[in-house]
Amino acid sequence: MPIRLRVTLLSTWLLAVALAVFGVTFYVVLVTSLRDEIDRRLETRSDAVHAYLQARAAAAQNAVGGAMMIIPLSDLEGAPIDEVREPGVFVQLVDPRGAILTGSRNLWGTSLPIDPAWTARVAAGARGPTTVTSRNALPMRAFYERLELGGSTAGVIQVAESLGPLILTAIRVERILLAGGFITLSVAALVSWVAVGRALEPIAQVTRTARQIRATGDLARRVPGANSDDEVALLADTLNEMLASIEATVARQREFLADSSHELRTPLTVVRGNLDLALRAPDDESRADCLRDAQAEAARMGRIVDDLLLLARNDTGMTFTRATFNLTDLLHDIARRARIVSRRVTIEVEAPPTVQINADAERLRQAVGNLVDNATRHTPAGGSVTIVGRTTGDGTAIDVRDTGIGIASDHLTRVFDRFYRVDRDRSRAGGGSGLGLAIVKYIAEAHGGHVTAASSPGRGSVFTITVPTKGGASDESMPA
């Protein structure tokens, strides 16, 4: 069941319960109040009839000499009780045995129903209202009171009023409550349906946009933002952030695959071309040259594949083995190997005799070696490359400084991206794969550190690896 329908039904049901409780309470209170008002009115009329009859009895007694005397019940027959009767109110006098003595003229020859139980109770001194049914089956409210004349019980006063008006009023109120409740529920359901629909419209837009993105593959699309600070707006913002992250990831993957294909296609083409030339070579020397070129390109392609595998492990996670060793010895060894490969620049090491560091020695050798290789390839003949090892307040820093061509500021933020080259043609011609600095960044961050670059065109560059201090000299495994 859709959320919109569920919310509408739930809100309508809750309102219906509230209206039902209100309606029943209002109906009961109203009917009870009207009945109590009738009882008070009947009691007042009964007291008036009682007082009137007592006054007539007193006047009759005074007429015979002023002595209190018992008036015969026959004297009450035909008493003009209509003088104290209100319209719609019926009055009847009954003797203690239940025989009717007299009644108001609006009874039209009929009589009020007599409840023997109440007659007996009234004769014993009780008084109060009760509900009786007339001879034509109409409910009536009757008030019973004992009539005392001359110190003895002369009979029972019955004052009654039809409950027809009260019943009609109750029916009208009941119909109004039912009609009003139905109209209120209908309007509330419609308002709830519209309001919930508007509240859920941003979610519907999110759903439509997500389906369109799935159908078209257009990750550049964004979910329309809600003009509020509610949960729907938060959902839209979160989805947009997720879409932006997915778009960036897919873009990097596409760029990575394109660059990988391009980088691998070039050496494969060279290898294929040299093999074709070797097959057609006129002599052994030409054939050997072609095979050497093919071997060199195959080795370069192997290095690219190794670098790609290392970075792929970064995406899946790998474990480095850390140990404490003398960084200065490692830097001198890196410099010695670099001098063998590049004799056209001067490579020096500046470091104290002992700089203790806790790291993966082989991975750190690879990172510093990549920086040194990058520096020697971009430093003109006669220039210098300096490897500096030093301690800092929170760890160890390794600087690789060169006097090379430098890097423009707009390239510095991207030099650590995979396959990014400041000068693509020259870098490829120099043997670079475009992955060296990305590997440096990965190794530095895997050690909990970072790498930075500072450069000025024509004045050289400085790359710095910072590795935070790790306690203990024992080996430890470190997830990358």
Q: Please state, in angstroms and rounded to a whole number, the distance separating the CA atoms of residues 384 and 86.
A: 127
**Who contacts 359 (Cβ-Cβ below 8 Å, separation ≥6)?**
322, 323, 325, 447, 467, 470
Q: What is the pLDDT of residue 262?
A: 64
Q: What is the pLDDT of residue 81?
A: 56
For the domain with range 3-168, which CATH number is right: 3.30.200.20, 3.30.450.20, 1.10.3720.10, 3.30.930.10?
3.30.450.20
Q: What is the pLDDT of residue 345?
A: 92
Q: Please state, in angstroms and rounded to a whole number, the distance separating the CA atoms of residues 312 and 173.
A: 79
Per-residue pLDDT 10s for the chain (480 aa) are: 778 888 888 888 999 999 999 999 999 999 999 999 989 988 888 888 888 877 777 776 665 554 444 444 444 444 455 555 566 788 888 877 777 777 777 777 677 887 777 777 887 778 888 888 877 778 888 898 888 776 677 788 888 888 888 889 999 999 999 999 999 999 999 998 888 888 777 778 778 888 888 888 777 777 776 566 777 778 778 888 888 888 887 877 777 677 677 667 767 887 888 888 888 877 888 888 888 888 877 887 777 777 677 666 665 555 678 899 999 999 999 999 888 878 889 999 999 999 999 998 988 988 998 899 889 988 999 899 999 999 988 889 999 999 988 888 888 888 888 767 666 544 444 445 567 888 889 889 888 899 999 998 888 999 999 999 764 333 444 555
Q: What is the pLDDT of residue 53?
A: 79
> In whole angstroms, how large is the CA radius of gyration of the chain?
55
Task: Give pairs for 203-211: CB < 8 Å, separation 24+.
Answer: 203/232, 203/235, 206/235, 206/236, 206/239, 210/239
Q: What is the pLDDT of residue 263?
A: 64
Superfamily of segment(s) 318-479: Histidine kinase-like ATPase, C-terminal domain (3.30.565.10)
Q: What is the pLDDT of residue 198?
A: 80
In the β-sheet with 152-162, what is the strand arrangement from edge to edge? 100-103, 89-94, 152-162, 139-149, 128-133
Q: What is the pLDDT of residue 33?
A: 93
* CATH hierarchy code of domain 228-316: 1.10.287.130
Q: What is the pLDDT of residue 333?
A: 92
Task: Give pairs for 8-16: CB < 8 Å, separation 24+.
Answer: 8/189, 8/192, 8/193, 8/196, 11/188, 11/189, 11/192, 12/185, 12/188, 12/189, 12/192, 15/184, 15/185, 15/188, 16/181, 16/185
CB 335 within 8 A of CB 349: yes
Q: What is the pLDDT of residue 118?
A: 77
Q: Kindly report whether the global pTM for this prediction surpasses the value 0.75.
A: no
CB 236 within 8 A of CB 208: no
Nearest alpha-carbon partner for 198 in 1, 10, 4: 4
Task: Show me where the domains of the chain are located.
Answer: 3-168, 228-316, 318-479
Q: What is the pLDDT of residue 352?
A: 93
